[in-house]
Amino acid sequence: GTGLVTATPEANDVEYLSPVTIGGQTLNLDFDSGSSDLWVFNTQLSRAATQGHTIYDPTKSKTFALMQGASFQISYGDGSGAAGNVGTDTVDIGGATVTQQAVELATAVSRSFVEDTNNNGLLGLAFSQLNTIQPAPQKTFFDNVKSSLAEPLFTADLRAQAAGAYEFGRVDTSKFTGEMTWVPVNTTDGFWQFTSEKFSIDGGAPQTSTAGAQAIADTGTTLLLADPAVAQAYYAQVDGAVDDEQQGGFTFPCNAQLPDLQLDVGGTMATVKGTDINFAQVDDQTCFGGLQASPAGLQIYGDIFFKSNFVAFNGGNNTLGFAQH
Ligand SMILES: CC[C@H](C)[C@H](NC(=O)[C@H](C)NC(=O)[C@@H](CCSC)NC[C@@H](N)Cc1ccccc1)C(=O)O
């Protein structure tokens, strides 16, 4: 295939896992457009840490080579992280193949990764400048494979409680309805970043949250973390919604009617379906919102956004394409 793999959701669509073959060994990884390291669970980790995981064994790969003296250490916004050493091997995603791809072998991973036994590592799809390998940062799979693709792009087709897909090299127009809108990406910080300062609720009058507010497209983040003004205005329209310190964010009665939310992506409005904003039940009557306030200044449009929008990441001209699906 041209580089087409299934994206399978965990419970509550917390993460999406896709098969990657490394030196002939297939592991399910979390494709993450919000970071730029490809790291895997492997035989160097303790048995306790790898319990329930699928691990990569470099000694069993005919094409593995150690990258002498190289190491990595990555931290994520949720406080999790991983660190270890580095090699190269042949990496194949649905037929799109890179020989001598930098593959980072964790020798330490945070508890949240140990406990998430569906997740055997991350495949970073942000810009290579964010790669954490020392002494010399290495290229992402996408950067390495780009020139061999029919088109220098990949797409994310993530679905609510259903199998979706990542595809490298083409935009499958049968996967979405209406027109795809392309917007320029600001790559300065290494993310797929764009201006997102306007919002409207149920197609009402657009309001500005914060002039010049920035957002990133992050397939590796579960929720939609938006400017606090957006979250406050949205949940003000939901009867019984409260910002519940104890639950860690906005909750509402599970039978609430959730309005649709429009957010601008580089000036063009994209819709997030209200149904996708009901994230998970936290007790018999109460549900936790998929839209929450972003702690930092930066907005993080995670899987909640992708469930309503098919997104193309074009590394040829650094643009993002989005369309309703
Ligand atoms: C605290 C670390 C800050 C956020 C920063 N790190 C980052 O920005 C890294 C590359 N990206 C991330 O922490 C976030 C984007 C944060 S926006 C600043 N994306 C990747 C994240 N979803 C990966 C993940 C997947 C599953 C489970 C947990 C984590 C740094 O290293 O400085």
Instruction: Enter the ipTM.
Output: 0.95
Q: Is 81's C-beta closer than 6 angstroms to any atom of ligand 1?
A: no
pLDDT at 298: 97
What's the CA-to-centroid distance between 81 and ligand 1, angstroms? Answer: 9
User: Please, which residues bridge with residue 19 across strands?
Assistant: 28
Pocket test for ligand 1, best of 10, 35, 76 (most atoms within 8 A of CB): 76
Q: What tens digit of pLDDT does each residue of 58-113 get?
A: 999 999 999 999 999 999 999 999 999 999 999 999 999 999 999 999 999 999 99
Catalytic residue positions? 32, 218
Q: Which residue has a Cα nearest atom 25 of ligand 1?
A: 220
The CA distances from residue 289 to 27, 50, 207, in Å, are 31, 32, 21
What average pLDDT does the chain have? 97
Q: Which parts of the chain have pLDDT scores under 50?
A: none
Q: Which residue has a Cα nearest atom 1 of ligand 1?
A: 77
Q: Is 169's C-beta closer than 6 angstroms to any atom of ligand 1?
A: no
The CA distances from residue 133 to 37, 39, 85, 236, in Å, are 8, 11, 9, 45
Q: Is 19's C-beta closer than 6 angstroms to any atom of ligand 1?
A: no
pLDDT at 295: 81
pLDDT at 116: 98
What's the CA-to-centroid distance between 110 and ligand 1, angstroms? Answer: 13
Q: Specify the ligand 1 atom closest to the Cα of 35.
A: 10
Quick one: three-class SS letters along the chain? CCCEEEEEECHHHCCEEEEEEECCEEEEEEEECCCCCEEECECCCCHHHHCCCCCECHHHCCCCEEEEEEEEEEECCCCCEEEEEEEEEEEEECCEEEEEEEEEEEEEECHHHHHCCCCCEEEECCCHHHCCCECCCCCCHHHHHHHHCCCCEEEEEEECCEEEEEEECCCCHHHCCCCCEEEECECCCCCCEEECCEEEECCCCCEECCCCCEEEECCCCCCEEECHHHHHHHHCCCCCCEEECCCCEEEEECCCCCCCEEEEECCEEEEECHHHHEEEECCCCEEEECEEECCCCCEEECHHHHHHEEEEEECCCCEEEEEEC
pLDDT at 49: 98
What's the CA-to-centroid distance between 264 and ligand 1, angstroms? Answer: 23
Q: Is 317's C-beta closer than 6 angstroms to any atom of ligand 1?
A: no
pLDDT at 2: 76
Q: Is 299's C-beta closer than 6 angstroms to any atom of ligand 1?
A: no
pLDDT at 28: 98
Q: Is 77's C-beta closer than 6 angstroms to any atom of ligand 1?
A: yes
